[in-house]
Structure 1
């Protein structure tokens, strides 16, 4: 199918791509949408090259683009009028996973999927206000689980005995360091130095459990309460050191939290430790070090090499990698001005600030024979990663092996399970049978396939199992809860409810958010051993699981429990490092059930085509899809405001509060900031007397990196900004508002994942085409439940992204660990 509809009428120069007024009644011949009218690949409309604001004719066209549209083809977006600012505008930017990740994309050492970041937002030392203190939101989010990670670390330490293999290392770390040095020096082939057998693993049936969390320690949003911050005297001492080096004093709290007691002395002795603060870049840390060290500061300083190595590994984690291949890491160090990259990596490993691993490139290749005189080598790759992600991946692999190898609890007889499966339909029956037989099952499908895990949950609870579901977002939780209610009433044949009404349903159903489940604020609670008090856990939105969250979930499951991971593999991957769901699908270590239930209607047809790399035309008699071409970012903002405030409510009856705008990044002339400012002025004007916010403002609250809760401002008092997020009251302390709350009429695709709205306006400005990929387009377009308007300024970049730009690869170790932990199927 062609991705471009034939143009029905030419647009004269100077009209800025506005569609002609329809010549007949709605649906009559001659009627067009903006997208169809301007779909001739630029045509004469592109020749005008106007740069001013839209004229009256364009205004009228934008207002009526939805109200008077007939059939709209998504393929029309491929031929929108030419963008006046184009890629040279350079302001698009991409969104960081859950917030602002500095330059995690542009400086990412490996080609991982780029998280969306602010192009214009440097968290640098020289930016005004950029160094404001940020409480450690990630620590607050994971306070309930930190103890488990410490126990995991102790558990790994128990597996090995100290080995005198280096002055500062022992055990496996020292042996691996010696192996890397031997390989790099040419003394031994990689296969030979890594041929020693792995130490025996502790039986997987003895998982480490986190201690139950007190309900008083968590808030309504499922986020653990603030933990004790650094001592005031420590912060004051760090402020003095920062002042000496010319750095903002506002960074003191973050530095003190990162370095702990004695942070001032550590920072003075090693100024590059400033790179541990989120957003600080190497060149800024270099300037700080020059002020403190003077002539002693040099590019080849060993301290600098270690700090930049750790910083690059952190940036790689922001891009989704859990480890980096050695050549990629040393190349990135060289780009950062580290003269001896190999020495820097070895020093980092020797100081136990990173770990080194070797993985076989071909796991099916046989081990070289001991008497092989030729010294045949087994191809391997050497990886370097941070300890926290290495432990998480090992813990996850152990936990998954425990689920696969253990026998599920005998809850319900085989006959009972078979009766439940026989009463279900299609692939829902397959899912029930697979869960009855095994401890780990994967389920894939789009939005319509949610009826299948709902049927499974209903059937399991009918058999007496303590069955629960967990979703990525509160909106997804309430949406699935509404679906469960419909299933119990025999209404599974209907469409999945939209989030616009789902949050109004009572919270009495067995479904929670992943964050709430882990913190103890939601879900069944934990038993005396710290395990979840359940028999079956169905995790929806599984592609959003990073390795740390997945490890915490799996380790929290009791022996004999069943786990179902379900989701749409075509959406954007997790904000945090790893690609857990994709790795598990590729490993094929457990049953996989693919839903055969397609998403209905023109939107389902459009999104399904994008998933396989095709941007198809779709017939949309109910105005389900409308294309609105624009030439520049200014017109994109103007048209978007008209669609949200006027056209969509008037033509479709969807109020502005239930219409979500999605754009590639925060920065740029048509990023979330510009769009939110324009939408606020139109929909809820006010002076922003509460830190830039007014009662009634739509907001996006990020309690921790990678998590976004859509909500509204209720008010403010001495305690902070008062919000309501999916019906839950949330109070954001004043000092955290600037870092964790944004206006939310416009979101990025990463922020919107896991949610759906009755109507979505996807804005594709010409200055953000670099951020487009097939998963991004699939995710953004797939957030619409009833209607999708595409404000198209990307021209041919849109169909090219759908056809040619898949998800960028991420470097992870989970597939190798899974192969060593689980038996090969068959």
Structure 2
């Protein structure tokens, strides 16, 4: 590595507060409340996706999904009411992480419930709560000292009769994103008076559900009973066991007894002699339980079935023989199996492209699903055909892809999913269950990157259970950047030789200097020394808050690169943006203009109109991103900013993901000293509790 040669001015003093990325991941986290569209007579891609997701939930649960509406501007508030409104707005705008007791949660990404054979649906707008209901809810909120501006959202979350429900059980306010137990307690005391107490059964039940939601934000699909009991005790619930039993009795949570695997012949003998098989008790929310079970069913169907005989064995073998190395292994595995896992770094996408060409050559209808539009465009260049490449979200919503057959399954023979670690359990379940009988599924991705922002660790779980073929790429990522990232993947921060300044370290003393040096790199040093213009450089930083978070960096980068008054809701034509049409998805783009219809964007070559009431929730400036927002994309130059207060946010997957977004040049604005090599060597991904491994091993015996 080389060191940036330029000197800097004295920087401003560092200010505290950059939270971990998982705590407030920006435009994704800003989507917890879904707004309604004002576009009359036209349905956007985001609306189509949301509509498809709602229908899938109705089919699996046989009830309508509960949708969240945007918060209206509130009146002047003070005291507890102002704090409560500020907390909710902070979560929705991504300003600070939602309260959690389970690690640092990534942004929640609501996704459709899985269902076999989903039928195509006509997009419809989410109905707004009735005005009379909203007004009644506002009166209840006012009586409890909560901000009346939460009325529309509470009405949307609780549905018909929300006013009566809230008055009878004030702790239902915890269902609104951003509300903490202590705030709901204050609301309950104001409404119930002497009847309110910490041992109230309603409180225990509501806090139980809230903790399970917090666990989902941290990536867990369920919690082990001891962990849930301990968390309830920390939240002042006098009888945690009774609280859990109450939630189970009311159907607000589900309990599972999962048998643990025996480790050897001795244990099997003991079991046969009458010993009980060891079990663990898990508690989870219904939506994730249904998703995980449906996913296990769908994966078992693929693994246990014989794929359709598309193409002769000789044709497949000729295609494999024409390929090289692990690409040939991948083609042979797909020829014989319904589910195949393919692992590797950025260079391994060439093997997925070889598979696509081979499968098309033997007559298969092939589609590829990438995580982001950027990834979709990059892969389309590899296969020289944009017609068969979509985003996973577009495929599920029907906005992209082959359409559905008469039975409602995707009309294809082979689906290759890129960026597979980004699939949460709900999206993975819907994709899997949407495949027709006899179809093949290939999950391809880099297991070292950050996991999905939604609950689950689907790709890692499948790799761990070893119930289907796994093909590991032997194609290394080239050059000094490839060497650096490969070392990080195995826990080593290497000092690589970078004669062309492919990797540059820029030491800084504090966050103020980090911001100054970042702007200098993007606007001057990288264009001049590397030849990459500012519009092809992205900045990646661990969090949104703090003196060197995305908000601070985007503000100064806008002032330097595209100054303007921000007359369109804080945006001007030419601004780089990060657009989140739905929670958990970030699409980079640029502002084109604005009119009565909303903010006009250009995102990966597509025109998007964001209704004005959704701009604040779903659009933010995008010169600087978090690593989660950047997953699935690569840029010619990347500047990774590591201010001193970001040390606790670092982990090996975070560093691997951030550094791996660079194609030609990586600058590291380095202010964390030894925290960086320590994170690479000692801080793996935070564990997630999931049921998928046990569910799958129960349906697919080892060796099948």
- SS of residue in 2 equivalent to 1:569: coil
Gaps of 5+ in 2: 38-44, 64-113
Determine the C-alpha separation between the residues in 1 that align with 2:403 and 2:597. 29
Greater C-alpha Rg: 1
CA contact (8 A) 2:25 2:544 kept: no
SS of aligned partner of 2:462: helix
1:94 is displaced (CA, Å) by: 2.8
What residue number does 1:519 align with?
A: 397
| Mean CA deviation greater in 586-595 or 231-240 | 231-240
Within 2, Cα distance between the matches of 1:712 and 1:290? Answer: 48
Q: Is the 8 A contact 1:404 1:439 kept in 2?
A: yes
* Matching of residue 308 in structure 1 with residue 204 in structure 2: no
How far is 1:287 from its partner?
1.3
1:38-83, CA deviations, whole angstroms, 9 ceiling, x for partnerless residues?
xxxxxxxxxxxxxxxxxx94249x9xxxxxxxxxxxxxxxxxxxx9
In structure 2, how many angstroms separate the alpha carbons of the residues matched to 1:654 and 1:360?
Answer: 55
**Which one is further off, 251-260 or 791-800?**
251-260
- Structure 1 residues 139, 579: CA separation in 2 closer, same or farther (over 3 Å shift)? farther
Of 268, 279, 292, the residue aligned with 2:178 is 279
**Shift in alpha-carbon separation, 1:693–1:320, aligned structure 2, 3 A:** same
For the residues of structure 2 that align with 1:142 and 1:563, how far apart are their CA atoms? 25
Contact residue 134 and residue 253 of structure 1 kept, 8 A: no
CA distance, structure 1, for counterparts of residue 131 and residue 262 of structure 2: 53
TM-superposed deviation, 1:682: 0.3
2:647 alignment partner in structure 1: 769
CA distance in 2: counterparts of 1:753 and 1:613, whole angstroms? 20
* Alignment equivalent of 1:553, drawn from 409, 428, 431: 431
The equivalent of 2:268 in structure 1 is: 366
Q: 1:445 touches 1:567 (CA, 8 Å); kept in 2?
A: yes
Q: How many Å separate the matches in 2 of 1:435 and 1:679?
A: 46
Say if 1:138 and 1:705, in contact at 8 Å, map to a contact too: no
Residue aligning to 2:21: 94
Query: Could you list the per-position Cα deviations for residues 471-517 of structure 1 after superposition, in whole angstroms to 9, with x for gaps in the alignment?
Result: 000000010001111xxxxxxxxxxxxxxxxxxxxx84310000000
Contact 1:575 1:750 in 2 (8 A): yes
CA contact (8 A) 1:133 1:253 kept: no
Deviation at 1:153, TM superposition (A): 4.2
Q: Deviations over 1:197-231 (max 9, x none)?
A: xxxxxxxxx972111134xx2xxxxxxx6322222
For residues 297 and 482 of structure 1, the distance between their equivalents in structure 2, rounded to whole angstroms, comes to: 63
How far apart, CA to CA, are the structure 2 residues paired with 1:790 and 1:231?
A: 52
**In 2: Cα distance, 1:432 partner to 1:659 partner:** 36
Deviations 1:167-224 (A, max 9, x none): xxxxxxxxxxxxxxxxxxxxxxxxxxxxxxxxxxxxxxx972111134xx2xxxxxxx
Distance change >3 Å, CA 416–CA 768, structure 1 → 2: same
The structural deviation recorded for 1:590 is 0.3
**8 Å Cα contact 2:409/2:434 also seen in 1:** yes
**Counterpart position of 1:208:** 116
SS for the counterpart of 2:368 is: strand
- CA 525–139 in structure 1, closer or farther in 2 if over 3 Å, else same: closer
Give the SS at the match of 1:640: helix
Relative to structure 2, which stretch is displaced further, 791-800 or 686-695?
Answer: 686-695
> What pairs up with 1:484-499 in 2 under 5 angstroms?
484-485=383-384
Report SS of the residue matched to 1:422. helix
Please give the alpha-carbon distance, in whole angstroms, between the structure 1 residues aligned to 2:542 and 2:176. 26
Contact residue 95 and residue 748 of structure 1 kept, 8 A? no
1:601 aligns with 2:492: no
Structure 1 residues 451 and 356: alpha-carbon distance in aligned structure 2, compared to 1, 3 A threshold: same
Structure 1 segment 312-461 matched on structure 2, within 5 A: 312-364=211-263, 365-366=267-268, 372=274, 376-461=275-360
Residues 339 and 441, structure 2, Cα contact 8 Å, conserved in 1:
yes
SS of residue matched to 2:463: helix
The residue number in structure 2 matching 1:758 is: 636
TM-superposed CA distance for 1:652, in Å, is 1.5
Alignment of 1:221-232 (within 5 A): 226-232=125-131
Which segments of 5 or more consecutive residues in structure 1 lack a partner in the other structure? 6-31, 36-55, 63-82, 102-116, 124-130, 156-205, 218-224, 486-506
> Over residues 622-660 of structure 1, what are the superposed CA-to-partner deviations in whole Å (9 max), with x where a residue is unaligned?
110000000000000000000000011111111111100
1:34-53 equivalences in 2 (<5 Å): 34=4
Question: 8 Å contact 1:765–1:793 — kept in the other structure?
Answer: yes
Q: CA contact under 8 A between 2:26 and 2:626: conserved in structure 1?
A: no
Partners of 1:712 and 1:288 lie apart in 2 by 42
Cα RMSD, aligned residues only: 2.5
Q: CA deviation at 1:241?
A: 1.2
Q: Aligned equivalents of 2:165 and 2:268: distance in 1?
A: 48
2:49 and 2:399 in contact (8 A); partners too = no
Q: 2:8 is paired with a residue of what secondary structure? A: helix
> Which digits, 9 at most, give the CA deviation of each residue in 1:754-784, with x for residues without a partner?
1100000000000111100000000000000
Matched, 1:643 2:545: no
- Partner SS state of residue 52, structure 2: coil
Kindly indicate whether the alpha-carbon contact (under 8 Å) linking 1:97 and 1:318 is maintained by their aligned counterparts in 2.
Answer: no
Q: Which residue of the partner structure matches residue 470 of structure 1?
A: 369
Whole-Å Cα distance in 1 between the matches of residues 183 and 152 of structure 2?
18
Question: 2:102 aligns to what?
Answer: none
SS state at 2:301 partner: helix
**TM-superposed deviation, 1:91:** 3.5
Per-residue deviation, residues 412-467 of structure 1 (Å, max 9, x unmatched): 00000000000111100000000000000000000001000101001111111100
Report the counterpart of residue 501 of structure 1 in structure 2: none
Number of aligned residue pairs: 644
How many Å apart are 1:617 and its aligned residue?
Answer: 0.5
Whether the 8 Å CA contact 1:99–1:702 is kept in 2: the answer is no
Is the Cα contact below 8 Å between 1:148 and 1:209 reproduced in 2? no
Contact kept? 1:97, 1:576, Cα under 8 Å = no
SS in 2 for 1:668: coil
Structure 1 residues 513-566: Cα deviation after superposition (integer angstroms, max 9, x where no partner): 000000111011111111000000000000000000000000000000000000
1:370 Cα deviation after fit: 8.2
Distance across 1 between alignment mates of 2:27 and 2:211: 16
CA gap of 1:234–1:416, structure 2 versus 1, over 3 A, is: same
Instruction: Report the CA distance between 1:133 and its aligned residue.
Output: 8.4
SS of 2:443's equivalent in the other structure is: strand
Give yes or no for the alignment of 1:786 onto 2:664.
yes
Distance in 2 (alpha carbons) for counterparts of 1:139 and 1:552: 18
Distance 1:96 1:552 in 2: 27
2:608 aligns with 730
1:33 matched to 2:3? The reply is yes
Whether 1:143 and 2:57 are equivalent positions in the alignment is no
* SS of equivalent to 1:585: helix
**1:143 is paired with a residue of what secondary structure?**
helix
Report what 1:69 is aligned to: none
* The one of 58, 78, 82 aligned to 2:8: 58
Secondary structure of the residue aligned to 2:577 is strand
How much has 1:738 moved relative to structure 2? 1.3
Aligned to 2:110: none
Does the C-alpha gap of structure 1 residues 403 and 154 become closer, same or farther in structure 2, counting only changes over 3 Å? farther
Q: Aligned with 1:755: secondary structure?
A: coil
- Cα distance change on mapping 1:748 and 1:207 into 2, 3 Å: closer
* Matching residue within 160, 181, 205 for 1:261: 160
- Report the alpha carbon displacement of residue 732 of structure 1 after superposing the two structures with TM: 1.4
- Tell me by how many angstroms 1:719 deviates: 1.8
Is contact 1:469-1:538 (8 Å) kept? yes
TM-score normalized by the length of structure 1? 0.75
Q: Secondary structure at the match of 2:21?
A: coil
**In terms of mean alpha carbon deviation, does 645-654 or 569-578 score higher?**
645-654
Whether the aligned pair in 1 keeps the contact of 2:59 and 2:115 (CA below 8 Å) is no
Task: Output one character per residue of 1:276-296: Cα deviation in whole Å (capped at 9) or x when no partner.
Answer: 111111111111111111221
1:728, distance to aligned residue in structure 2 (A): 1.2
